[in-house]
Chain A
C-alpha cells in the first residue's frame, strides 16, 4: 500500500462570529485565500492536484452550491482540479483528509487539497431552514439534541463539576495565549485580505487573561441549573483551514516538506445525547488499526467542543495533560465547525515535527453522536 503524508498545513485567523474581524468576509473568499496560501507555501504544482475536498457543516447560502468546485475558480487553480463538498458536521474536514488518504491508496490520485470552512457569522448553526422530521423528533428527540445539553449530560454522567471545567478552560486559554505571544501561530496563519482593504492576521477568540474568578461569574448557557457556560464552551467562530495530502512518493519526487505520515483513521457512532464521548471509540478503533496503544501516543489534538466533553473523553482515554493541545484548543482558539478537523490534523502533524515526537492523535466529537480519529507518525 502507498504511504500517505501530510505535506502542508495552514489556516486563516479564527475570529468570533458576528463581532469578529472576519464576520463580513464570505466563507468562499475566506477559504480560497487559505488555499492559495497553502499552494504557495508548499510549492506544490497545482496541475498535479486531483481533487479539492472541502468540509463544511452547513453547506447552504454562501456555503452552498458545491462550494469546493467554486473555490477552484476563486483560488485561481487549474480547471482540471475537481471539487467536492462533504459534511460530517465538526468532523467534516478531517473526513476530507480521510477521503484523500483512501483515494491515494486506491490509486485514484496523488495530491489532494483537504480544506474546511465555516462562517458562523453568515450561515447560522442549524442552517437557514432548520426543518426536522416531525416523526423522528417525536419518536427519538435526541436525534436533534442541542450540543450544550450533550455536554451537560456528560458532566453529570462523569461527575465533572463546574470548577474542573473552568480549570480546563483557563488552561486552554493560557496555552493559546502563550502560543500567540511566542509567535507560534505565525507559521500556520495565512493573513486574510478583506474587501475593505484591511488585512486580518491574528486570532480573535483567545482570552489569555481569563481567570477562574471571572468564569465563575458566568450564568449557565444551556440548562437552568447546569454547569456549562459560555466560558467552558467553544465560541461560535469564523475560520478556514487547509492541508495538503499526497502520496509519500509524490512528496519525495517533488521535494515537498513532509510533516507526518497518516498511520490510521477511523470513525464511529455513539448515542446522540452524549455525542461528546465520540472520540473514545473512534480512537480505540484507530489505535487498533495502527497497532498502537494510547501509551505510544506523544501528541494529542482533541477538539475542545466543551470542557465537560473533553474531560469526559480524558476519563476514558487517560492522556497526560503535557501531551494535550499544546498550543491551546477550540475553547480558546474557536471552533469554525467545518474547518476544525483540518486544523487539528494539520496542527498535530506540524507538532510532531516541532516537538520531534513519533506518534500523534487528532480526534473530534461530532454532533448527532459520532467520533473521528486520525493517527499520524513522524517520518
Chain B
C-alpha cells in the first residue's frame, strides 16, 4: 500500500506542522479543524469563513521561523477545510492523522465518524503525546481497532527526525509497515516502535530528566546559566540544556504533562519522586511568563527602553536579572575528564552527577517496559531531543563499570540491565551490536536501503586518510570522500586528499561520492590559514591557495569517473564550490547551500563564480541574452544568499533539475551511491564550457545597479568595493561578447579579484571579526 494522500485533523501547532511536512514530501494533504464558534452575544448569526482556523494555520506556517515549508509553493498542497462540511474528504485518503485536543471523548467521537467515512485500507492514527492507545481504542468497533495506531511526531515536525509508533494487538501489520515506510522515505523520519506506556520513550525519559534538572538546580543554588552550561555540551546535549528547553516547550504545558504522567504511571515509578512543580514555576505560569511564546520564561529579552538585554530568572528570588555569560572552564570530553567532572565536589559537579545518574538509572530501569531494546531508547533521545548520544551511549562513554561502582558507593540501586557491568554496545566483526536483557549481544539492524558511513568505518580502515579528510570504500566500486575537520572546514589537507582521491579512484574504483554524516557538509574554507597569510602579507601564498583549490576542483570535474556530491546541512563557500564541480548532486532535503564569500570581504575563488555563472547562463527559462544569467548570479553571490532547503537550492540553481533530493538523511549515502552507479556506464567527463560575456558593458550595467543600491542605503561602502570585484568576474573582465572566454580565463578573473580584495583592510576586518565573534561584519 502506498500513501498518496493524507488528511490531518486538528490545525494546532502540531497538526499544522505535520501537514506542512507532508506537503514538503510532495503529498497532497487536507487540513481540517472545527468551525470557529461565535463569541456569545456577538449578535452574529454565523461565521463568515467556516475554514478560518485551518486557513490561518496555513498562513502562520508560511511565516514560521524556522520555516515549516521547504518551499512556499508546497503550501498549495495543503487544502484547508472544516470537520463539519468536509469530513467526507477523508474518503479518498490513505492516512488520517488526528491531532485534536487531548480529550478521549472528543477523539473517540471523531474516530467513529472517520471509521464510517474512510476506505477499508485507510490508516487512522493519533498524534497524542499523553494518552495510551488502549484508552483511545476502548469500546471502539473492531473495524477501527484494526486500522488504528499512534504516530507521535516531535515539534517542529519538519526538523525533528523522531516518529514514535505504537500499534495495538489488532492493528493490521501491513498498515503499520506502510506508515513506517512512508515516514522513512517520504518524511525522512526514523520510526521507533514504542510500547503503549505513558509518554512513550522520548517524553518519558525527557520529562523525567527536565524535572530532575529543574529541581536539582534550585536545590543546589545554581543559576539557570550554570545549570544549562553543565547539562549540555559535556554530554552532547543541545545548548538549551534544561531551562532553555523548558522555555521552548512552554512552561504552561508542564503541569498538564506532569498531571497526566502522575495518573498513568504505577506508584513505584521513580517519576513520582520528581513530580513536583516549584512555587517559582507556578508563579511564572500564573503571571504569563510561560517561555518563548509567552512574555518570557527562565530567559527573556528585555526590550524596554529600546535596548535588547538578555535576562534570566534568579531561581531563588524569582526576579529577572541581566544574563551572565557562563562557560565551564573546561568542557569534559574524554572518559577520564567526564569521570572527574561527575565525581567532583562543587555544586556544578554534584548537579551533573545527580541529574545524569538519575536519568541514566531511570532509562536503564525502563527496559523492557517502554521499549524492547536500548537501541530504540537511544534513537528516540537522539532524534527526539537532539542529544548527540542516547542514555546508553552516554553510559558507555562514562564506562558502565565505573558508573555501577559509583552507584554502589552511594548506596544506590543498580538496575538489572547494568548489573552485569557489560559494555552496552560493542563492535563485533565490523558490526555494531548492543546488549540485550539477558546479557547477549545482538547486531544493530539497519533498514533496507540505509547505508551509513559510521557503519562502514567500523568494518574496514580508510583507503586514504589525513587529519581533515578520508577516502572510504563503500562497495560496488564506489568510493566515498569524507571531510572530518572542525565544522568540516576545508584546508590544504582537504584539498590534498581530494587530489589523491582522484588518482586513487581512477585506478581502483568506478565512481566517487563526496559525503559525510556530520550535521554540516562543510562550513567553507578554513579562514584561519588565510588570515595568517594576510598578516604576513604573503600574497604569493594566498595566490597559491586559490590556484590549488581551482586546480583541485577542476581535476575533480574532469576526472574520468562520475562524481556525486551528497550534502546535508550547511554547504557554504568552498563547500558549495566543490559541489558545483560534481557531475550530480544527491542532496538531503535539509540543505543550506550558498556562496557566502562576500560576507568576509571576498569573492568565490575556487571556481564558484565560474560554475555558478555557467548554471545560470545555461538555464533558459526566460528570453535569452547574457545579462539575465549574469544578473542572477550577481544577486545571489553578491547578497550571499543561502538556501533554506534543497527545494530552494534547486530554485536558486545550486542544484540542477536532474539532481536528486533525499528526505531521510540515513538514506542519503545509499541514494548518492546508486546515482553514481547509474552514471558509470559509458561515462564521459563534461566538455569544458566557454563563456560568451559582454565584458565592460555588463560591468557598466552592474555598476549602475551597485550605485543605485548604495544611494538607497542598502549596501555599505565596502559592499560597493566587493560588489565591483564580483561584477568584474561575472562580466568577463575585459573580454568582448564576440570572443568567448575559457574556464581558465574566468578562473583568472576570480584569482585577480580575490588577490585584490585580500589586500584591502576592509576584508581583513571582516575576516577577523567573523573568526572572533562568529558573526559577519558589515563595514
Contact = CB atoms under 8 A, between A and B. Distances in A.
A129 B713 contact: no
B703 interface: yes
B712 A129 contact: no
Contacts of B696: 134
B727 to A, nearest CB: 12
Contact of A129 (B627, B703, B704, B707): B627
B623 interface: yes
B698 A131 contact: yes
B712 A222 contact: yes
B105 interface: no
Assign chain A's interface to a size class.
20 to 34
A61 B696 CA distance: 23
A266 to B, nearest CB: 30
Contacts of B623: 60-62, 64, 128
Nearest to A144: B704
A134 B712 contact: no
B626 interface: yes
A132 B625 contact: no
Interface string A107-137: 0000000000000000000001111111001
Contact of A225 (B622, B694, B699, B713): B713
B731 to A, nearest CB: 10
Nearest to A149: B711
Given A128-B627, A137-B703, A224 B711 contact: yes
Contact of A221 (B622, B697, B712): B712
Interface in A32-78: 60-62, 64
Contacts of B627: 128-131
Given A60-B623, A61-B622, A61-B623, A130 B701 contact: yes
Contacts of B713: 220, 223-225
Contacts of B704: 130, 132, 137, 144, 146
Nearest to B699: A134
B628 A129 contact: yes
Interface residues of B, number: 21
Contact of A131 (B622, B694, B708, B711): B694
Interface in B679-714: 694, 696-701, 703-704, 707-708, 711-713
Given A137-B700, A224-B713, A128 B708 contact: no
Contacts of B628: 128-129
B711 A223 contact: yes
A229 to B, nearest CB: 12
Interface string B707-733: 110011100000000000000000000
Given A134-B697, A137-B700, A144-B704, A129 B711 contact: no
A131 B700 contact: yes
B730 to A, nearest CB: 13
Residue from A61, A64, A129 whose CB has the most chain B CB atoms within 10 Å: A129
Contacts of A149: 708, 711
B326 to A, nearest CB: 40
A137 B700 CA distance: 7
A115 to B, nearest CB: 22
Interface in B617-638: 622-628
Contacts of B624: 128
Contact of B626 (A60, A129, A144): A129
Residue from B627, B696, B700, B701 whose CB has the most chain A CB atoms within 10 Å: B700
Contacts of A221: 712
Contacts of A133: 697, 700
A133 B694 CA distance: 11
B584 to A, nearest CB: 30
Given A134-B696, A137-B700, A225-B713, A129 B708 contact: no
Interface string B733-751: 0000000000000000000
Contacts of B697: 131-134
Contact of A224 (B625, B700, B701, B712): B712
B613 to A, nearest CB: 15
Contacts of B711: 149, 222-224
Interface in B598-650: 622-628
Nearest to A137: B700
Nearest to B630: A129
A75 to B, nearest CB: 23
Contacts of A62: 623
A132 B700 contact: yes
15 contacts: A61-B622, A128-B623, A128-B625, A129-B628, A130-B627, A130-B701, A131-B701, A132-B697, A132-B704, A134-B700, A146-B704, A220-B712, A222-B708, A224-B711, A225-B713
Interface of A: 60-62, 64, 128-134, 137-138, 141, 144, 146, 149, 220-225
Interface of B: 622-628, 694, 696-701, 703-704, 707-708, 711-713
What 10 pairs between A and B have smallest CB-CB spacing?
A224-B713, A129-B625, A131-B697, A61-B623, A134-B696, A129-B627, A134-B700, A132-B700, A137-B700, A130-B701
Given A134-B696, A222-B712, 5 more contacts: A60-B623, A131-B700, A132-B704, A133-B697, A144-B704
